[in-house]
Amino acid sequence: MNIEKLQARLADFAKERDWEQFHSPKNLSMALAGEVGELLEIFQWLSEEQSQRSALTDKQLAAATEELADILIYALRLADRLDINLEEAISKKIDKNALRYTVEASRGNSAKR
């Protein structure tokens, strides 16, 4: 996925519609949260088993796909507005998690540290 390209496309999209005025980081974080709320609604009454890919109906999977796309779109747009290098941020966070959640201490244990 070429993030910069997608971000440029999203920036153009907003600019053409004069939507930059709405796209403050504060507002984008709210829009992101709104989309995550819609994702939760898909899974809220399903058991964990029923939420697995193999158990979802086509309609549920299509809905989840669309919500995940919306979530990514707002996350990319927010990262762009904050001038955050997402790839670097993710990579750093995985390294940090590897130190915090060592294999020995965390095997089979989901406790937050």
- Asked if residue 34 binds a second copy (CB under 8 A), the reply is yes
Contact 84, 28 (CB under 8 A): no
Taking CB under 8 A as the rule, does residue 57 contact a second copy? Answer: no
Name which of residues 65 to 104 contact a second copy (CB under 8 A): 65-66, 68-73, 75-76, 78-79, 81-84, 86-87, 89-94, 97-98, 101, 103
Residues contacting a second copy: total by CB under 8 A: 79
Cα separation values, 38 from 9, 16, 30, 66, 109, Å: 24, 27, 13, 10, 29
Whole-angstrom CA distances from 28 to 23, 40, 46 are 6, 18, 29
Any contact of residue 113 with a second copy (CB under 8 A)? no
Q: Interface residues for a second copy in 36-55 (CB under 8 A)? A: 36-53
